[in-house]
A and B are shown apart, each in its own frame.
Chain A
């Protein structure tokens, strides 16, 4: 199948195999497609062994950071303490909408993965935190959870295994930062979604102060396939020369592109083929100018850079950017990069939780300068200031929202400086910004 387009022959549809297939949404439909076999097997397997299989598979977190999933799980020991599993379904990185489709089309796939992971980390309780705007995914996942409870898949004797697995769905209420794992936990605890200082790490003191594992929707939905088919099976996906990036990955594609939507490819796929072949390239008569390949927080690529990139963790790093969440944003030659970067900084300024000084003040300051340049009121001095603020905002705060705001500015200034300069050169206004008076008086 595939959604919103039929799967392209060069895709590797595992997670997306049933996108667009409404029958897969129901418990009966999911079971008919082999669903819950992996969970049944897992519930009767020692958690340690599950951790090992996932570790061997090479699966890395699909939320953005790319941390090895099995390694993360292995921090959870049978220590007799209360453990929690959190599923991060707060997908809010601009350009990313893959978890949304997983939850809309295969909610049981997610519930299965969540229940499996809970068992694997010695947890009885799992929470799926879904962003508030995802009303349909929320309803689908809630329905799947209800069905699973009714069928005895969840509950005190999950699938007759004697294991207790509870899965609860928790709805967010509009805050990008809650996608950051510690902010998500705070939000789940009924607090402001402020990221926490690490250490302590969630595996030591996470949700409600208890050892907690937090995984992304895509990651958790992948796990049952690995448990069912084995680590070796999973390892076939990826380029042979890069054992660090294994498996398939959902990429969301949006912006100025012929066929926006989700595409699942084996890691290591050539980005040029992806953009032009799978996604149909730019709109008619246009050319691609820039691409952000991994959600708005990663550096912007020029068309040339994008066309040379390889779609995996290391491949994108080699091109000077990151795989991130897999949200591909395409800008064509009509786009004003200053305007679009200004819009991105405004996003971060809006979403800053207000804790760290550099982020609270920096995101807003940078946005004011960007919007002033956008509106033809920029000065040459502004470009140096932008660089200085960006540096002052990077690597100094509790979480990386601050860095994420600086990233498009830094990479934009590096790669599209001429667009900034053209706007500034066109500033013919007599009255400039207040500080300019002092500058001219000096």
Chain B
């Protein structure tokens, strides 16, 4: 994982911190960006390059909800359902997403491997209820009705 350009990038980040361990979150982001999720094998690689143990890395990975500990669909969709969005009908958006993606249930990946839908806690865009995140992109003010259009624009 951390060879060539990726290694150069990692070294550049390492230079910003007094400890190697501080680069754990950035390194995990690099891993997930490259592989789509954080596997046990990936954890071993990150641990080795930062000179920490896999168990330590795993404890950190499992603390942060954005690191995928399992493979996810090509379009990973996070729907905010915390109170501010909930009062604006976020749960209906979830239903609509599950229906249109064919995911069946939250956390499951659709049979075609395209989608995974999860509920998340506050995305910090409460004034634009209901916000959803599709991979790294925000879509604001999603309604049950706008779901099919949003999904149709995805590859």
Indicate whether A and B are direct neighbours in the complex (CB within 8 Å).
yes
* Any B CB within 8 A of the CB of A12: no
Residues in B neighbouring A168, C-beta threshold 8 A: 16-17
**Stretch with Cβ within 8 A of B (4 or more), from A94-102, A107-115, A227-235:** A94-102
Would A260 and B66 be within 8 Å (CB), given that A255-B88, A343-B82, A347-B121 are in contact?
A: no
Chain B: CB-nearest residue to A3: B127
Contacts A135-B138, A172-B64, A173-B64 known; A190 to B23 CB distance under 8 Å?
A: yes
For residue B123, CB closer than 8 A to chain A, the reply is yes
Q: Could you tell me the distance between the alpha carbons of A198 and B97 in the complex, rounded to whole angstroms? A: 44
Contacts of B120 in A (CB 8 A): 133, 174
Question: B34 → chain A, closest Cβ, in Å?
Answer: 16
Are B127's CB and A260's CB within 8 A? yes
**Is B28 in contact with chain A by the CB < 8 A criterion?**
yes
B124 CB contact (under 8 Å) in A131, A175, A296, A340: A131
Within 8 A of B (CB), among A237-254: 252-254
User: Separation in Å of the B51 CB from the closest CB of chain A?
Assistant: 11
- Return the contact of A133 from the options B19, B66, B67 (Cβ within 8 A): B66
Binds A, one of B3-11, B104-112, B129-137, B145-153: B129-137
Q: Are B129 and A254 in contact (CB under 8 A)?
A: yes
A175-B64, A343-B82, A347-B122 known; A260 vs B128 contact (CB < 8 Å): yes
B129 with A135: CB separation less than 8 A: no
Which of A132, A133, A189, A260 makes the CB contact (< 8 A) with B129? A260
For residue B85, which residue of chain A has the nearest CB?
A: A254
Decide if A252 touches B126 in the complex (CB within 8 Å): yes
Q: How far is the CB of B134 from chain A (nearest CB, A)?
A: 11
Shortest Cβ distance from residue A335 to the other chain B in the assembled complex, whole angstroms: 5
Q: Quote the shortest CB–CB distance from B19 to chain A (angstroms).
A: 7
With A and B bound together, what is the CA distance between A166 and B17 in angstroms? 11
| Residues from chain B with Cβ under 8 Å of A347 in the complex | 82-83, 121-122
The answer, yes or no, to whether A136 is at the interface (CB within 8 Å) is yes
Interface size of B by CB at 8 A reads 43
Question: Closest chain A residue to B91 by CB distance?
Answer: A343
Query: Which A residues are CB-close (under 8 A) to B137?
Result: 135
Q: Taking each of B28, B66, B83, which has the highest tally of chain A beta carbons within 10 Å of its own beta carbon?
A: B83
* Binary per-residue interface labels of chain B (40-77) against chain A in the complex, 1 for a CB within 8 Å, 0 otherwise: 00000000001010000001100111110000000000
CB of B24 closer than 8 Å to a CB of A: yes
A190's nearest neighbour on chain B, judged by CB, is B24
Provide the residues of chain A in CB contact with B81, threshold 8 Å: 343
Could you tell me if A134 and B66 are in contact, using CB atoms closer than 8 angstroms?
A: no
- Say if the beta carbon of A327 comes within 8 Å of chain B: yes
Interface residues in A, total, Cβ within 8 A: 55
A310–B1 alpha-carbon span in the complex (Å): 55
| A94 lies within 8 A of B126 (CB) | yes
Q: B37 interface residue, CB < 8 Å from A?
A: no
Are the CB atoms of B82 and A97 closer together than 8 Å? no
CB-based nearest A residue for B126: A254
Residues A329 and B64 in contact in the complex (CB < 8 Å), given A94-B83, A189-B22 = no
Tell yes or no: B2 within 8 A of A by CB. no
Q: How far is the CA of A296 from the CA of B122 in the complex (A)?
A: 10
Task: With CB as the reference atom, state the residue of chain B lying closest to A334.
Answer: B87
Contact B124 A92 (CB under 8 A): yes
**Residue of B65, B84, B138 contacting most chain A CB atoms (<10 Å):** B84
A95-B126, A347-B122 known; A133+B133 contact, CB < 8 A: yes
A62 at the interface (CB under 8 A from B): no
Please name all residues of chain A whose beta carbon is closer than 8 Å to the beta carbon of B128 when the two chains form the complex: 4, 97, 260
- Determine whether the beta carbon of B64 is less than 8 Å from that of A174: yes
Whether the pair B19, A208 counts as a contact (CB closer than 8 A) is yes
Residues of A within 8 A of B142 (CB): none
CB distance from B93 to the nearest CB of A (A): 14
| Given pairs A135-B136, A174-B67, 6 additional interface contacts (CB within 8 A) | A93-B122, A171-B25, A252-B127, A255-B84, A339-B86, A347-B83
21 sample A-B contacts, Cβ–Cβ < 8 Å, listed by A number: A4-B127, A94-B84, A94-B121, A94-B126, A97-B128, A133-B66, A170-B25, A174-B66, A188-B22, A190-B24, A191-B24, A193-B63, A255-B83, A296-B84, A330-B87, A339-B86, A340-B83, A343-B82, A347-B121, A351-B121, A353-B63
Chain B residues with CB under 8 Å of chain A are: 16-19, 21-26, 28-29, 50, 52, 59-60, 63-67, 78, 81-84, 86-88, 120-129, 133, 136-138
User: Which A residues form the contact surface with B (CB < 8 A)?
Assistant: 4, 91-97, 100, 131-136, 166, 168, 170-176, 187-193, 208, 252-256, 260-262, 296, 327, 329-332, 335, 339-340, 343-344, 347, 350-351, 353
